[in-house]
Amino acid sequence: MCGIVGFVGSEQAAPILLDGLRRLEYRGYDSSGIAVCGDCELRVKKVRGRLDVLSELTHQGADLPGTLGIGHTRWATHGEPNDVNAHPHVSSSGRIAVVHNGIIENYMELKNQLIQKGYTFRSETDTEVVAQLLDYYYDQCGDFFEAVMCMLNAVDGAYALGIVCADYPDRMYAARKDAPLLLGYGEGGNYIASDVTALIRYTRDIAYMDDGELAILSAGGIRIYDRQMRPVEKEHHHVDWEIDAAEKGGYAHFMLKEIMEQPRAIRDATAARIQNGRVVFSDLNMTPEQIRAIGKIYIVACGSSYHVGVVGKYNLERMLRRNVEVCLASEFRYSDPIVGEGDLVIVISQSGETLDTMAALREAKKRGARILSIVNVVGSSIARESDDVLYTWAGPEIAVATTKAYSTQMALLNLLGVYFGDIMGTVDYETYTDMVRGIQALPEQMEEILLRREEIHTLAQECAHHEDVFFIGRNLDYALSLEGSLKLKEISYIHSEAYASGELKHGTISLIEDGTLVIALSLYDPLFDKAMSNVVEVQARGARVLALTIDRRAAAMAERVPMVLPIPETEPMLQPQLGVVPLQLLAYYIALERGCDIDKPRNLAKSVTVE
Ligand code: M6R
């Protein structure tokens, strides 16, 4: 997704912008550019492709002298990825440059109005309209601040904007609505960025902009205004993520590093929430009465976060003895959902910025539901708009394919189930203690699996040549197979599907032929025999089966299946927490064998802030 960095201060801006953009590369992008103001002149360089190209083109920024600048990595939404459509966009006068994340919904209408006034457009983007509008208003009123205000009043849609004007080489403007943007307070100057990762090398003192706010940054300070142009005092946050935590730490890929971090991440997410064997959510504002009074429960999310929700549905229904609806956020928002006062909507998001999830949250909130979100990025939009936030504390997740965020989201959902079930009186003492002990033991059991990663690498080598893979499982194994399949397809580009095993015979089994790879999940022990008969069923059609099962069942499985991957056993409801680790590793090593760009798979972005 698009990334924004901006700097104003006493140092040269271009090297800071290039470095900041490099740290945002993980968000996914197809082009990049920077604009720098120096000697009352605006210099812009932008280009399609990797940042290295931009860096080379500008001689590592040396060609663009000046201490004020904005930079951007673009992920195309309007207009194909090319040099012209890349940001920054510059007004016709050549004096105003803009970087933008989001979508200006009324840009066609504004563009037509400006064309009638004699403006010509170079790009196909919605963003160029912002630059030209600023030009127009500045021309009309002669005051740039007023021009920015008029532009903000005219545009509809979502935006995080960084704006510079050559006539004001000592200040930068930033505005936000429905797209993330934060301010960084530094020693030698001040910053804007769409993501804290871009700034931690320069400052750890940050403030999150809220919707409707406008900031004016200079070397000496930052002034912030609300929609009514009243000055705003922002709460400052200290970022304690280490730079190292945002880099690869010795692993070949961020994805592997993040897989390996999972025992630590699970410990961080759960340890402080379990005290003397009891689940304690000091970060939850709901009273026991409110918890007992919960009406319907929805879980709403996208992608892997949605897959956590599918696991959550099985487990919460089991622990709370009530219906739990799990919905794709992109469907929920347009489904006229039957949700209202007294209902609880659990929103799950790593980034806290996924637009579909955000829109679903707002829809549910508008209808009166209480929003409890499970989020990784502190201070993100979803976190800020929720009634209750449980942070996963997984640390920055850089690889596009999520791993540790998935695991920690699931751990929190499981803990929440135990906690709610206890209050609602639906979880008995034995289940409560088994679940709590099980959660506490997860990090060590995960470490055991991680130590055997070379074994999984060998299996991956045997599977890497397949072009079609089916993941099958029942119940929690089905829920987990959804994630196993997504992990594999998104990073290895192998076509893969996840099926509830019992559903195969209703059509899909016709696709199984000699040599088709079927990854059979048989971790949910109450249904081991059923899983076994599905294995036999696909083998009879020629499938090559790789079975994932618990240690205790490995021998029985090995009697029928040549490739068996056994993992430690835990509470059946917690088994997906362990099962996901070998599936992540399998996907990782298969993608490695196929020479794929693992951390930045094609066509994907880490944070999906468009619809
Ligand atoms: O940041 P979110 O959890 O809201 O993101 C939702 C999905 O885009 C995300 O889980 C995606 O499916 C994963 N990156 C896939 O690995």
**How many CB atoms neighbour CB 541 within 10 A?**
15
Residue range 230-285, pLDDT digits in tens: 999 999 998 877 666 656 656 889 999 999 999 989 998 998 899 999 999 988 99
Does the beta carbon of 304 lie inside 6 Å of ligand 1? yes
What was the pLDDT predicted at 301?
Answer: 98
The whole-number average pLDDT for the span 445-458 is 97
- Placement of tokens 């609505």 in the chain: 177
Q: How far is the CA of 224 from the centre of ligand 1 (A)?
A: 32
CA distance 487 to 401: 7
pLDDT tens digits, 582-604? 999 999 999 999 999 999 898 88
Minimal-distance CA residue to ligand 1 atom 12: 303
Instruction: Over range 278-300, report the average pLDDT.
Output: 95
Q: Which position has the higher pLDDT, 180 or 322?
A: 322
Distances (CA, A) of 275 to 80, 272, 425: 53, 7, 20
Pocket probe for ligand 1: among 300, 332, 350, 380, the residue whose CB has the most ligand atoms within 8 Å is 350
How high is the pLDDT of residue 564?
A: 97
**Which ranges in 247-327 belong to alpha helices (H)?**
254-260, 262-271, 288-292, 303-320
Q: Is the pLDDT of residue 79 over 80?
A: no
Mean pLDDT confidence for 4-9: 98
Q: List pLDDT tens digits, range 109-130.
A: 999 999 999 999 999 999 999 9
Percent of the chain with pLDDT over 70: 98
Region of 590 on the Ramachandran plot (φ > 0 left; ψ -120 to 50 alpha; else beta): alpha
CB 5 within 8 A of CB 24: yes
Tell me which amino acid residue 449 is. I
Angle between helix 429-451 and helix 453-463 axes, rounded to 10 deg: 70
Q: Could you tell me what percentage of the chain is helix, strand and coil, using 3-state DSSP and rounding each to the nearest 5?
A: 40, 25, 35
- Look up residue 268 and give its two tokens: 């961080």
Listed residue (491, 542, 427) closest to 259, CA to CA: 491
How long a stretch of residues is the chain? 611
Q: Which tokens sit at 526?
A: 């109450």
Place 27 in a pLDDT band, splitting at 50, 70 and 90.
Answer: low
Q: Do 101 and 1 form a contact (C-beta atoms < 8 A)?
A: yes
Whole-angstrom distance, CA of residue 177 vs CA of residue 71: 19
Q: What is the pLDDT of residue 250?
A: 66
Supply the pLDDT for residue 102: 85
For residues 542-548, average pLDDT: 96
Distance 154 CA to ligand 1 centre (A): 32
d(CA 28, CA 308): 23
Distance CA(577)–CA(415), nearest Å, equals 12
Contact status, residue 75 vs residue 605, Cβ threshold 8 Å: yes
Q: What pLDDT, on the 0 to 100 scale, is given for residue 357?
A: 97
pLDDT at 80 over 80: no
Start-to-end C-alpha separation, the chain: 12
Q: Could you tell me if 519 and 471 are in contact, meaning their C-beta atoms sit under 8 angstroms apart? A: yes
Question: Cα separations (Å) of 20 from 17, 72, 103, 540?
Answer: 5, 9, 23, 55
Q: Using a cut of 0.85, tell me whether the model's pTM lies above it.
A: no
Average pLDDT on 79-107 reads 92
Ligand 1 atom closest to residue 604's alpha carbon, by position in its atom list: 14
Active site includes 2?
Answer: yes
Considering only CA atoms, which residue is closest to atom 15 of ligand 1?
401
Tokens of 376: 């990784």
Alpha helix stretches (DSSP H) within 391-550: 404-424, 429-451, 453-463, 476-492, 528-540
Q: According to the model, what pLDDT value does residue 398 have?
A: 87
Residue with tokens 């690869």: 248
pLDDT of residue 457 exceeding 80: yes
pLDDT score, position 247: 61
Strands 172-177 and 157-165: antiparallel
Is the CB of residue 350 below 6 angstroms from any atom belonging to ligand 1? yes
**Residue-level pLDDT at 29:** 78
Q: How far apart (Å, rounded) are the C-alpha atoms in residues 111 and 116?
A: 9
- List the one residue out of 186, 196, 224 whose CA is nearest residue 4: 196
CA of 607 to the centre of ligand 1 (A): 7
Tokens at 252, concatenated? 């070949």
Cα separation, 295 vs 285, whole angstroms: 17
Q: Give the span between the Cα atoms of 544 and 532, in whole angstroms.
A: 14
401 to 310, 339, 467, 585: CA distances (angstroms):
18, 31, 20, 12
Nearest CA to ligand 1 atom 11: 303
pLDDT digits (tens, 9 = 90+) for 382-397: 999 999 999 998 887 8
How many angstroms from the chain centroid is the CA of residue 397?
Answer: 8
3-state secondary structure of 344: strand
- Cα dihedral sign for 574, 396, 263, 422? negative
Whole-angstrom Cα distance, residue 161 to residue 449? Answer: 45
CB atoms under 10 Å from CB of 77, counted, come to 17
Q: Tell me if 302 CB under 6 Å of ligand 1.
A: yes
Domains of the chain (ranges; CATH) run: 3-240 (3.60.20.10), 250-449 (3.40.50.10490), 453-593 (3.40.50.10490)
- Nearest atom of ligand 1 to the alpha carbon of 306: 10
180 has a pLDDT exceeding 90:
no
* Look-up of token digits 């289940």: 431
The whole-chain average pLDDT of the chain stands at: 94
> How does DSSP assign 317-352, residue by residue?
HHHH-S-EEEEEHHHHTTS-----TT-EEEEEESSS
Greater confidence (557 vs 609) lies with 557
Residue 227 structure tokens: 């929609």
Q: How far apart are CA 24 and CA 365, in angstroms?
A: 31
**Cβ atoms of 473 and 575 closer than 8 Å:** no
Computed over its alpha carbons, how large is the radius of gyration of the chain?
26
Q: In the Cβ-directed half-sphere of 159, how many Cα atoms lie within 13 Å?
A: 27
The rounded Å distance from CA 552 to ligand 1 centre is 33
